[in-house]
A and B are shown apart, each in its own frame.
Chain A
């Protein structure tokens, strides 16, 4: 899937640039994006280290276990086969917590920790397991209780009430989450049935 989308992105861009005459802009875009990717990676590396360190403390002190117990009724619905006392469930619940609090910078490194645990339980190492798919879909539908960044920007531009979008944003996230997870679960089931019949 990614292979097709990526090829389409590049081919379509080059064709459009030929027609619109923006090949100069495209040339500099290709060159500058390479260094942009490196600086993005370094920035991300910093937050990964920071949260990796903080999580080690939270894990050893039993804090992650407590958060996990709190979220386990919700996680059980999405990941019915998962052991709620295991390391994977703990890592996922920390990622969910960061998302709920609108801490995007923390959610990614914590999510990567969860992916590492999911990968250690995965039977074929280059193929995403069904729990991984559900986890990534869950993250892309990001449920923020407090949309920190958006509210801050609204305030900067003179909104009378920067937080009044919250209820609409919850409803919208909830719908996205349910639709995304249902679609993923249904597709996984169908492909399992097809494989089983073969």
Chain B
């Protein structure tokens, strides 16, 4: 199983190129046409990403995140999320790199097969950085009014946190 993951990307790349070649496409010309469009979207992404990164870094460096986590502590007891995993749930919707660092710390301090380690792993495996997704996806096409995206996505995140804690005990993995 460990090996499979390292095959996925190379195999997909090969399948795409072989399939194209077999259909008689000029694969390299096609690649260049597609790739040249990518840079324009990247440039469009800089301003919204800048805003997001500044906000998130400020939140982490000022100690505001710890304050929020402390305020949420009673909620954690209610939902069955281990209190040491709680900082991860606060960080995971807003910062991908931040939650990765936090996840690594939990793995180091408690071990990957502890309750904390397993709940954190399930959370990491089943959520995406919501604010990053909203910023990047809408930013790339110039959408300013996101409607109910953020509340709905955050509700999905919360569901995933609670179910993660529950399913670890149910599956007893």
Contacts and interface: CB of A to CB of B under 8 A. Distances in A.
B125 A169 contact: yes
A133 B136 CA distance: 13
A23 to B, nearest CB: 8
Contacts of B173: 164-165, 167-168
Contacts of B159: 175-176, 179-180
B137 A136 contact: yes
A180 B67 CA distance: 27
B1 interface: yes
B21 to A, nearest CB: 8
Contacts of A6: 51-52, 55
Interface string A71-97: 000000000000000000000000000
Interface stretch (B34-42, B72-80, B82-90): B34-42
Given A16-B64, A38-B46, A133-B146, 11 more contacts: A13-B64, A30-B57, A49-B39, A60-B20, A61-B19, A103-B9, A115-B140, A127-B144, A146-B5, A159-B117, A176-B159
Given A176-B126, A187-B152, A14 B54 contact: no
Given A57-B20, A112-B137, A152-B5, A176 B58 contact: no
A157 interface: yes
Contacts of B13: 54
A135 B118 CA distance: 29
Contact of B124 (A33, A49, A150): A150
25 contacts: A1-B149, A17-B64, A25-B61, A49-B39, A56-B35, A60-B20, A62-B19, A106-B9, A125-B142, A132-B137, A133-B146, A137-B152, A139-B133, A140-B93, A141-B128, A143-B126, A144-B126, A147-B125, A150-B124, A162-B2, A165-B168, A168-B118, A168-B167, A169-B126, A170-B126
A140 B59 contact: no
Contact of A20 (B8, B19, B62): B62
A68 interface: no
A45 B140 CA distance: 12
A119 B100 CA distance: 32
A7 to B, nearest CB: 9
Contact of A102 (B5, B31, B149): B5
A53 B30 contact: yes
A180 B153 contact: yes
B136 A179 contact: no
Interface of B: 1-2, 4-5, 8-9, 12-13, 15-17, 19-20, 22-23, 25, 27, 30-39, 41-43, 45-46, 49-64, 67, 93, 100, 103-104, 107-108, 111-113, 117-118, 121-131, 133-138, 140-153, 155-157, 159-160, 163-164, 167-168, 170-171, 173
B31 A57 contact: yes
A165 B122 contact: yes
Contacts of B63: 16-17, 20, 22
B113 to A, nearest CB: 6
Contacts of B168: 165, 168
A86 to B, nearest CB: 17
A140 B34 contact: no
B153 A137 contact: yes
A145 B66 CA distance: 32
A33 B53 contact: yes
A164 B124 CA distance: 14
A172 B140 contact: no
Given A52-B37, A126-B144, A153-B104, A142 B46 contact: no
